[in-house]
Amino acid sequence: MSTSDIIQIILIFLTILGLFFSYYYNNKQLNLFTTQLKLNFFNEYTKRYQEIILNFPENINSENFDFNQLTKSERNKTLRYMRAYFDLCSEEYNLHKRELIDDEIWKNWEAGIRFAFTKKAFKDGWKIIQTDTIYYDDFYYWVENEILNNEKEKSS
């Protein structure tokens, strides 16, 4: 084996080693980028949720909440934000169905949605909003059958 053969073998080895390190570094960067995108995505949904919740009346969670007790202006504002909440829930449900979010995130969101629908205001708001808003079938039936019917069965 000549010196030039040895040099070529060393260069090939160094090239392969360089490719390995490039692959490792790029993969690590891609994972960091993906994690950052997921955090930004989650943060965006959290901000939207907080804005909605902060615009509900203080007594939204009370058992005797009644939209008819609100002034017309308060009622309209509350229903506008209730609609925004249901839209957000619909988006989250759609992301889950399309497997675009982690199961752990969906389980947290789903638990929050289910909890919200235990509240009178959200059940009443859902009924009111259905008079002028149409959600796609999967989400509508999920709310009606999985959430609202389950609540009725639990209370029986």
Write down the pLDDT at residue 124: 95
Distance CA 36, CA 80 (A): 32
Tell me if 101 sits within 8 A of 95, measured CB to CB: yes
Sign, CA dihedral 72-74-75-76, equals: positive
| Low-confidence stretches of the chain (pLDDT beneath 50) | none
Residue 150: its pLDDT value, please? 67
Taking the C-alpha atoms of residue 80 and residue 75, their distance in angstroms, rounded to an integer, is 8
